[in-house]
Structure 1
């Protein structure tokens, strides 16, 4: 059983490695793969926490590793990806905003880790995991979005991370069943490898609707 307690940390390290690989593929101009690695990191980030609670394997080492993985995979990697896909000639505005996103994410993590009492039913401010994933996905459509639109996306995400907004936590939401998970993965793959496909856009829309439905279901159960 002791071996099982090491599984969450191993998954966290795999998450961190996804961030490193994403940076490498971004520098090599393979942006689709870089996005896919960040999305894979998001999946691993959700798995390691659940397994840690299931195996009662929460530890200070695991907490530190999780924060390091978050700042690399959902902070640094998306920032570099944004900078490479949204460069304006003669301007450093995009790099400045990318840096602001990283600082906001770092502050968000520090604030979360310093909280003495935590209610796992909600987050204060958008988690860096979600913000980094959204920023990474937005880079797939950077050529179809006006520059000001891309900058607004990263600016708003930066603000939401440091805000005091209460965001429902997915820790109390059951994992989707196998069929739903397969559908989501197919949608993500289509989105990554064919960004102008109407099928990918439709599947992405269904995924967003599904997430909203789960949040509303959680609120209904909580207040019912």
Structure 2
């Protein structure tokens, strides 16, 4: 989520881990939920916009091609609940390629309150995250994840308070989230299928990314 004083124009990028879109017969779609706005008055015309881009080369900004554009997504009223828009775009043209997917937020800088929320980013179709290009952040002194490989449970231990734990499968789907607010926590994995998973751990000192392998 991006939120703050937006009188100055901004150009914010979020690049996802590289994924492989396999060359199958099924169509492949990128789907996400988003809401964006940019105004002093919640009833005013929203001015925020964002782009969805793909690169089949590198994660350098110059290599990305715009595949979708949304202008004036939805007016956000801080006094009311809101439901983000459900958006999607067909990315079947990239079958057989390893790609980076990026979201780019561009704010015009004409208002005083800006907000952009992005969630539930999924690729539907035959695609997987390329785990060789995901660098784990190791901090053996403060964060430990064990056993690995695991079966029925995974223990997360930290010298600092664990604020949030998220588990992602290789499709990039978040399959588990918890906010333990403690230094030791167990994730029960008996219902998980065999394979590789990513665990993102947020503590008072920052974020750590770990890979775990479930073998039964």
- Same-fold call, TM > 0.5? no
- TM-score range, shorter-chain basis? under 0.3
Give the number of the structure whose alpha-carbon radius of gyration is greater. 2
TM-score relative to the length of structure 2: 0.26
TM-score (normalised: structure 1) = 0.26
Q: Greater relative contact order: 1 or 2 (C-alpha under 8 angstroms, separation 6 or more)?
A: 2
Report which of the two has the higher share of helix: 1
